[in-house]
Chains A and B, each alone.
Chain A
Amino acid sequence: MATSVLGQAGTAAATAHHEQTGLWSWLTTVDHKRIGVMYGASAFLFFLIGGLEALLIRWQLAKPDNNFLSPEAYNQLFTMHGTTMIFLGVMPMSAMFFNYMIPLHIGARDVAFPRLNAFSLWVFLLGGIFLNASFLLGAAPDGGWFGYANLSSKQYSPGLNMDFWAMGLQILGIASLAAGVNFFVTILNMRAPGMKLMRMPMFVWASFITQLLILLSFPVITVALIFLMFDRLFGTNFFTPATGGDPMLWQHLFWIFGHPEVYILILPSFGIISEIMPVFSRKPLFGYSAMVFATAFIAFLGFGVWSHHMFSTGMGPFADTFFSLATMLIAIPTGVKIFNWLGTAWGGSIQMKTPMYFALGFLAMFTMGGISGVMHSAAPADLQQTDSYFVVAHFHYVLFGGAIFALTAGAYYWWPKMFGHMLDEGIGKLHFWLMFIAFNLTFFPMHIVGLHGMPRRVYTYPAGLGFEVWNQIETVGALLLGLSQLVFMWNWWVSARKATPAPADPWGGATLEWAIPSPPQVFNFGEVPTVASREPLWDWRRAAGGKLPEPPRVSGAGIHLPPNSFWPLLAAFGVTFIFISFMLMARFGPWPMIASASLLFLSIFNWAFEPTH
């Protein structure tokens, strides 16, 4: 077992670990840090694509009765915008931090199943490319990210569009489930000595609960997608009303997945904020235990509120009451978290660095998203708000004002650790203010037009309903929001050129990743640390009576690391080809499927018998 051999206990035969280079080393890597970086890079690329889709949408809506986009193009763009941002943007950005930070936070040398980790990355990346490849055929999914039956049926969506969607989401689901198992086991089994569950960093707790949500909710969407796939390709009738199928079944299955999915998107961000607030307030997290239980409670309740997405279906007064009250209940643990973050900063010594700007921006914006969430938990009020722009405003305050602000905070916070140099503070603050103002310009007016009767998912709107000015403001905001992302990338470039070397602990951090050099060596910890509290670094610093010395780079000779493997990548191709084969079946028969399945089998076989020593 890897961690049983400490760094200094090397044998004569052991050699030092050197940083690998070259494309091949990246394609075959099983190092959680490299996999994390690739997750982040691909997620940001998809985030930019989703952002471009949003800009096209905003350009179309900038004036009434516009025909910049055809209705079909618009429907494809809004479907892909939602699908991309959720499954290819925010989730894999969180996965970047899971990958990079969980092992460092818990004092491990890698995740529990390093090759499975590589497999998750490649399946996600190929799934994302597959989904976007639909644009090349002019057949991008056009039924909404929620893919409601029976519009998604072959009868009403005869093209390849929704096949791409159903297959793409199944591919991505496999990536998420594999990663979910991996991090779940990693967190339970790979913690450093002394790190009891209630000493884990809050980010690890949030990640742990997120994996639970993934493991419990993704099977539900998988079932729904398989039903849809069979309806579309093999003529079954799960959702066909004419033959006794029920479109309502889709809604229940989708939202039993879909609501926990919301927490899958936001809980990792809660974790990031819970790391940043204490460090930049120079005070421990306020009410740690309450934060842990609040997170768990949010996740638990998250499975009991799905039908609040369906108030307008007329489920009857008792169902409406149950789901209204359950939804309101979620505001309590969420409130506890917000107050505890405020309590963390209260009485602290707040250091206004860029990560803290974004964290405070998160607090301000997420609070607004939470409040509008409570507003449509009231079922009667939701009868006006659902499917209007008010809801669009709400979830962008939660997912952009919340998740994206928090993920950006995390990027500024951990950048020095990941890349060994500091990001520029001045550009960082410019980035924050531009993004903060542009964000509000884009999404605040959506509350107003929504309440004044503008429905969602419409490719245009008539003049004279009072929507024009607000939509213009939103479009200007969206362009500035796009610009703010360019400022972010400009910061990467400027900072990489300047390359101000980052010390091991630039912020005065509390958690284990700050005890090792920036960037970490391939084996993370020369010697696996022993943990005695929630803020091990602060303990050590106090014991040392001041700053800790820079940790030296060590040879790491004798530390066992799993060797690179090509099979995860090949297996990922096998999985992707299997789903493509479903779409080719009508034309080419079973042969593509037989070839793809053989590739997958071969890869897994070789993977299983590959020597790891």
Chain B
Amino acid sequence: MPVLPFARGVSLRSPWWRRLPLLALLLLVPAVAAAQTYPQSTLIPKGDFADLVDGVFWTTMWWGLLVFVLVEGALLFVIFRYRGRPDDPEPEQVHGNTMAEILWTAIPAVILAMIAVPTVRAIFKTYEQPTGDILKVEVVGHQWWWEFRYPELGLTTANELHVPRGKAVSLKMTTTDVLHSWWSPQFAAKRDVFPNRSTTLWFSARETGNWSGQCAEFCGIQHGRMGFRVIVDEPAEYDRFIGTLRASAAPPVRADSTGLQVTKLGAQAPGVAPDPLLAEGEKLFTNKGCIGCHSLNAAKPVGIGPNLAGIGSRTYLAAGWLENTDANLARWIREPQAVKEGVLMPNLGVTEPEAKALVAYLRSHK
């Protein structure tokens, strides 16, 4: 058998400096970890529900770490201390030790009790819906996007949930097709949604910003691209957002030649000539069939596709992951199947100039 330098190099009997590469590898972990930022982390809670969960996590983490150090330490000790040679005399034949066995049954039981008590306490808290001055939100999962409804306001939006900072939000959740799971790591952990029942969750966000979340239950071909955003606003900013949705619901109506009342163009200041590009986009929105699945009216959701009221000022497209730039929006309109393969929006044969008009038109909805 040829001598294998590697196998000898890391054997347990080799001097400690032979094992340096291994140690360096272990140190790499914290070094790499420190160099990253984690905007979707469960370990950086930004809301009360997530805080509650975080507390339980660290309880399990510290006890787990203690057990890890003790057991792996004992293992290493045994390996180095009791290493024998083939010609060593037979060691003492011990069959067991009742005292030791009682101890290592009892001590883990005590540790588990230390974990169990805060766990059970937290379990009951996770099911206590907030009351009083709360914001009710309905979450509806769709293949592969999220619908958010404000039932008290009669308004609907999609993929970007705006909530005011500090307000208790109560979520009631369901789905129109298959199972999904609404995972908002910073605020509310996750809850599955079912087609024939509703589930609940709650949170109150303590930091403004634009936070990402994602579907966590496998739901078909585009499960990987079923994200969403939770946008935490200062109350005034939140009111402005709701104002946009309200405005989409009550546009000054201008009937076009076909008699369809679909427009928001009339919202332009009187005396300003209507932009021909916008008018072209408006026409295309109907003629290309967009209107069959998408509503621009936050009070009238069509439901097949995401409601597009306020699309012009959304931060992301295609369910929370594609940045809402004009270029991305045009590409998304022209070839959705290339951007998000298998998505229910078909390629409609929109040309480049048509896409430009549609982008301009959608951009005007903010």
Contacts and interface: CB of A to CB of B under 8 A. Distances in A.
Interface string B295-314: 00000000000000000000
B56 A380 contact: yes
Interface of B: 1-4, 6-7, 10-12, 22, 25, 29, 32-33, 35-43, 50, 52-53, 56-57, 59-61, 64, 67-68, 71-72, 74-75, 78-79, 82-86, 88-97, 100-101, 104-105, 108-109, 112, 115-116, 119-120, 122-124, 126-127, 143, 177-179, 181, 183, 185, 189-192, 194-197, 199-201, 212, 214-225, 227, 321, 341-342
B217 A387 contact: yes
Given A287-B95, A444-B29, 6 more contacts: A74-B224, A284-B95, A364-B72, A375-B60, A426-B7, A437-B25
Contact of B67 (A287, A371, A424, A473): A371
15 contacts: A71-B221, A241-B194, A314-B199, A331-B108, A335-B104, A335-B105, A340-B101, A349-B88, A363-B75, A383-B189, A384-B190, A426-B4, A448-B33, A452-B42, A459-B223
A375 B37 CA distance: 24
A209 to B, nearest CB: 19
Interface in A138-165: 143-144, 148, 150-151, 156
Contact of B82 (A150, A320, A347, A427): A347
A448 B30 CA distance: 10
A247 B1 contact: no
A459 B124 contact: no
B86 A452 contact: no
B68 A367 contact: yes
A244 B195 CA distance: 10
A489 interface: no
B218 A151 contact: yes
A386 to B, nearest CB: 7
Nearest to A325: B116
Contacts of B192: 312-314
A296 B86 CA distance: 35
A555 interface: no
Contact of A331 (B53, B79, B112, B197): B112
A280 B71 CA distance: 20
A501 interface: no
Interface in A281-320: 281-284, 286-290, 312-314, 316-317, 320
A313 B224 contact: no
B74 A384 contact: no
Interface string A420-439: 00001111011001000100
Given A453-B40, A455-B215, A470-B32, A317 B123 contact: yes
Given A387-B190, A444-B29, A458-B224, A380 B42 contact: no
B108 A71 contact: no
Interface SS, A side: helix
Interface stretch (A21-29, A197-205, A460-468, A597-605): A460-468
Contacts of A448: 29, 33
A349 B224 contact: no
A314 B198 CA distance: 10
Interface of A: 70-72, 74-75, 143-144, 148, 150-151, 156, 241-242, 244, 246-248, 281-284, 286-290, 312-314, 316-317, 320-321, 324-325, 328-329, 331-332, 335-336, 338-340, 342-343, 345-352, 360, 363-364, 367-368, 371-372, 374-375, 378-381, 383-388, 424-427, 429-430, 433, 437, 441, 444-445, 448, 451-462, 464-466, 469-470, 473, 494, 498
A349 B91 contact: yes
A155 to B, nearest CB: 9
Nearest to B197: A248
Given A71-B222, A314-B192, A348-B84, A328 B38 contact: no
A311 to B, nearest CB: 9
A352 B12 contact: yes
Nearest to B321: A462
Given A151-B218, A348-B82, A367 B7 contact: no
Nearest to A74: B224
Contacts of A317: 123-124, 126-127
B119 A378 contact: yes
A547 to B, nearest CB: 12
B115 A374 contact: yes
A384 B181 contact: no
Interface centre among B7, B197, B215, B342 (most CB of A within 10 A): B7
A156 B185 CA distance: 28
A75 B144 CA distance: 15
Contact of A383 (B61, B83, B124, B190): B190
B195 A150 contact: yes
Contact of A466 (B37, B94, B143, B219): B37
Contact of B53 (A314, A349, A381): A381
Contact of B83 (A151, A316, A350, A460): A350
Contacts of A247: 178-179, 194-196
Contacts of A427: 1, 4, 7
A339 B67 CA distance: 12
B223 A458 contact: yes
Contacts of B120: 321, 324-325
Contact of A313 (B6, B194, B321): B194
Nearest to A461: B224
B157 to A, nearest CB: 21
A231 B221 CA distance: 21
Nearest to A360: B79
A328 B116 CA distance: 8
B180 to A, nearest CB: 10
B84 A282 contact: yes
A290 B123 contact: no
Nearest to B182: A312
A314 B38 contact: no
Contacts of A375: 57, 60-61, 64
B42 A451 contact: yes
Given A332-B109, A433-B6, A381 B56 contact: yes
Contacts of A437: 22, 25
A175 B181 CA distance: 35
Contacts of A312: 181, 189-192, 216-217
A384 B39 contact: no
Contacts of B82: 281, 345-350
Contacts of A324: 116, 119-120, 123
A247 B194 CA distance: 8
B196 A343 contact: no
Nearest to A498: B1
A196 to B, nearest CB: 16
A453 B185 contact: yes
Contacts of B123: 317, 320-321, 324, 379-380
A283 B56 contact: no
B68 A371 contact: yes
